[in-house]
Structure formats: C-alpha cells, structure tokens
Structure 1
Amino acid sequence: MLRTSFLFWPALAAGALGLASCDKTSGGGDFAKTPSGIEYQVFKNEGGKYSSREIAAGGDSAAYRKRLGQIIALHVEYRTAKDSVLFQSRKQQMGYPVRVPLQPVKAKGGLEEAISMLQPGDSAVFRFNADSLSIKTTGQPAPPPIKKHGNTMILYVKVDAIQSQADAMVAQQKAMQEMQVKQQQHAEAQKPKDEAIIQAYVQKNNLKTQKTASGLHYVVTQPGAGAKPSQGQVVSVNYRGTLLDGKEFDSSARNGGKPIEFPLGVGAVIPGWDEGIALLGKGAKGVFLIPSSLAYGQRGAGNDIPADAVLRFDVELVDVKAAPPQPSMPMGMPQGQ
C-alpha cells in the first residue's frame, strides 16, 4: 500500500478524500466574479469581526508582485456542489497549515490565481467549474467521484500567515517536530488498543498468526520457492487490502490486475508492508494484520481508511528483482563530497 500525499487538487484526483470542517465565514450570499471566471467571496478580519472586501487584480496586482517568493500558510477545504466534504487540510496536517510558495500566476481561472487574491487574515470561499479546474491543474477532466455531486467545486480558505522563506522554514520545522511528538504519543497509546482488536479478530477468524516485535501479525499461507527479498530490491506484489469488517479499500485487481512494484525497505510503502514483504520468499502468499502505527495512524487515508484503523492485506510476492544500479562516482571525486 503506497503512501499518499495530500495537497490541493492533485490529491483529490488521486482519490485522496478527507473529513471534518474548515473555518467558514460564509457559504451563501452573492459571489463576485473575476474576468477569468472565478467566483469568490473574500472576507477580512477586523478586530475579530469579518466583513467582505473587494479584491485587487490577483496575480496581476502590484501588491501581489511584491509578495512573490514568499510563502503563504493556509487551511483549505474542498466541498462538492451538494456540500459533501472531499478534502480537509486540518485533518491531514493535525491542525497545522499547509504552506505554498507564491509564484507568478501562469494559468488564470485556477487555484494559483485564487490564492494570489488573498492577504494575511483573510477567509474566502471560491467556486469553480470542476472540469475546468481539474484540466487547469492536472490536464484531465474532474474524476467521477467529484462530478457525481455536480460539476461545481467549492474551496474554503483561511489564511494563517504570509511569511518570508526563512520564517516559513522555521515555522515548518517547528510544526513538524510538534506533529512527530503528537503522533508518537498517540501511537504509543493506541498500540494496546490495536493489539486487542487484532487478537479478537484472530480468534474470531481462527487464524494462527506470528507476531513481530513491532506488532505486525502475519500468516504465510503458501511458502515461496525463492529467497526472501532484501532492502533495496524491487518487489512485485499482488494484494487486496480490507478493513477488519471486510470492506475493501484497495487491490491490485482495481489497478488493472497488475502487481504493484516498489523498492523494499526505503519507505516507498507503509512500514507494515516494508516489514511484512521482507518475511516472504518469492512466490509466497500471506496475510498481514497491520496495526495503525505501522499503517496510516491517526490520520487515516481518505474516506476509506479511518483514523487508527487496523488493516488486513492478502498478498502474493510475485517477483523479486535486483536493486537498480546506483550512479557511479566520477573518478577523482573524494567520498563524502
């Protein structure tokens, strides 16, 4: 199961959907419209009270050109025309803002232009044609999970700050350190809960699992004839991933029936996979019961994998290939430089 990156529309196009709510100042009322077709409501914060404000010409304004190269920190939420939440950054960022560099606006009518309109303290609602926004961002029409609710995409934004690159880097490093501490504390508290869930599942389904020191439970249902893979080797795996209630959230069958390929032991997949696949010989089949600390933790993944979910994977190690060759060091180049 590959890791998933969440940030703006590309994450939605890949099926990364989230939950919860963003700071919303208004969801109704009249929308103004830019010449490029973006419908918007922008509100400024004055002493804790919000009032609507007119905007300058976005990326064409002198004020925005002065901000080029700076970093905007903001909270974002996407909703459909029927107000279904598709993605919410607060959940993915554990309450911390995402940070985006302010660059020249190349494509009018899209996210770049919308963000260029904003100032520190602003809250805003943007309304887009979903197909038009997707084509500007990804080159493809909006995916069916988006359009089934109508061809409108609504973006709620709350600006936290606009910072220099140096200040943004300091703030980002601090946030990452705080997030790691919170995640570690939560994971430690969750471990005994996950173990109890797995034990109950094992007994109910009459499974005879082995357990690793990290908490991964596994069963080898068909021994492999080949050697076990080592770190860096490229493995091919057929798989089916389900929650413990049997609901499937991903499989190689969904991806054209082809096995997934990835380098083992380098963080390309969730930790439970890196550890579990290394226990199998080529040709082996098995079952992994992966605690949340070795999967997607308290963040979960999209609509299908909730926070703190224990996951089951039925896997088959189809092939093991040699690690790709590393670039050779030029002659005369001292190591470590």
Structure 2
Amino acid sequence: MRFSSRPARQLALAAGLLGFATLTACNKGGGDFAKTKSGIEYKIFKKVGNSYERREIGPDGDPTYKDRIGKFLLGHMRYTTGKDSVLQNTRRDVGMPVPLPLQELKQKGAPDEALSLLQPGDSGVFRFQVDSLIKPKSGQPVPPFLKRGGNVVMMYVATTGKLIDQAEAQAMQPELQKRAMAAQMKQRMASPEFKKQMEEQKAAQTKALATPEVQAQFKKDDAVLQDYMKKNNLTMQKTASGIYYQVLKPGTGPKPANGQTVSVNYSGTLLSGKEFDSSAKAGRPIDFPIGQGQVIPGWDEGIALLNKGSRAILLIPSPLAYGTRGAGADIPADSPLKFEVELVDVQ
C-alpha cells in the first residue's frame, strides 16, 4: 500500500472516527449542494459542540489549504453510486483511522480537490459526475454499474481533528496492510466459489488420509511420538486426528475461529532436536488465516486449540505435516515434527 493522488488509491487509504450515519443525515439536510468552479458539488460541515454546522467555502477554495499540503488527514471515506450502492467503505474494510494525503492540486474536479476543501474535524458530502472522473478521451469506458447508478459518484468523508506527517503515516502502514488483508480474506471466504473450493479440499484431504498406507504411517508415527514424550517427560493431550499438544502457558484471549487471521511465533524442529525453521529468522510472527489450507493441516488444527496469548508444544504426525514428500533438505519424508508456538494475536 502506498500513497498516491489517484482516487482509487485514496479510497484504500481513507478512514477515521466519525460514523457515516451523521454524514448521511447531513446529506439529507443542510440545504442544497454548493459547487466548485470545477464542477464538484459539496456540503461541508464543521463540528460545533455536539452538533454540526454548515461551513461555506469561497469560490477559490479554502485559502488555508496551502498550509496543509504535504500532510495527511485522518478520516473515514465511503464511495457510493447515485443510487446508494456502496463501492467502498473504509470503516468496514479497514476499521481504523488511516492517512489521507493532502497534495498539490494537479487535477481539478477530482477527489484531491474535494479533500482540499476539508479542515481537520470537518465532515463532507461530495457529488461527482462520472464524466469528470473518467474522461471520455482517455479511452476508458464508464462501467455499466455506474451508468445504472445515474452516472453519479458520491463521496462521504468524516475526518478527525488531527493532521499527521509523512513519517507518522508510514508508521501506520503495517497495521493497515494487515487489516486490509484480513478484510480481503473475509470477503473471499464469504463467496460461494470459495466455500465450494474449501469443501472439495477438505473432502480430498479426508480421502487421502484414509488410505491404508497413510493409516499405517499414522500408527508408526504415533509410536515414535509416544516414545519421544516418554523420554522427554512430556504430558500431552491427543486430538482425534493424532496431534499431541501441551499448553505451557495458558492465554486469556479468545480461541481463533475458522477464517480469522492469527499471528504466531514459532520454532520447528525434527524430533532429533534439529531446528528447520522459526519466526525469529524472519524477525516477526507469521500471519495466516485459520482453516484455509495456507499452512500444514497440523497447524490449522493445533493453533485453533489455543487461546490468544498461549504458548504450547505441538507434536504433529507426518501425514498432518509434510507427508511423504518432506520439505527440501531440512525435513525428510515421513517426519513427525515438534513445534513450540505462541499465539500472539487473533484478528
């Protein structure tokens, strides 16, 4: 995610604190839209006590904007068609204030100019004609859904009272990216195609684990794991699938549900004690959605057993790890594995 003057990029970066219900109410009241020389129709409101009052802008824009160029507003942003179909809602998709760049105006009639009219703490409703955003000469056709929406795009912005600089904005990016990825995963999981794919994947995995060869490997691995626990004085619980786990430090947070993104610190070793991987090598926890097949099956099941904040040991039989294929030179085929894990966060 990077800052840009393009409307689509601004859309992805906007957020804040004030709810859109207030903006919708402002849109229905407060008199007619004012209009800039470039054609943007707008209503801008400033907060006075616990209510909002209409703020008028001169024909040449806000003369104080020059003092804000290069900084960033924080605020929610929502785009809709003229018929209220939501195109983007950053409160829903990000859920926290994010930076809105304030830049030199190189294009009039676009969201950049609309943002230049806002002072920290303002809320605004802006109406654009689609032709002002998608120029006919550009060769880019107007999407049919915008035509059906009346060839109008509405932009609702609710800002906080704070301006931040470039360094502060950049410092927010890791958390914003994390939240955006979680929102994308949530939307993906809600699609019928994804649900069908996961059902097919689960059925295929169940069938593969039920073969005589794999069941024989489970029995072999279980004997090895029980011997390992005995030699190392480990008292562990066993799941129905054959994973052994021991909670070293109970967490007080929630257990992750299917599809939630988790952050996990870990070290992985062979039963010989040889480490093959760890989060320390990357310098940060690993993030992944639970139950979506993005990690080995033993992790999808084992991490879901833990409360946020827990530290635990997982012993995973090879069919629920890397199976007969192994993993490169570090993990031989048919290797049961040991992981020490810490569930740092649950989104």
TM-score by length of 2: 0.45
Q: Which has the higher contact order (CA 8 A, sep 6+)?
A: 1
TM-score by length of 1: 0.47
Larger Rg: 2
More helix per residue: 1 or 2? 2
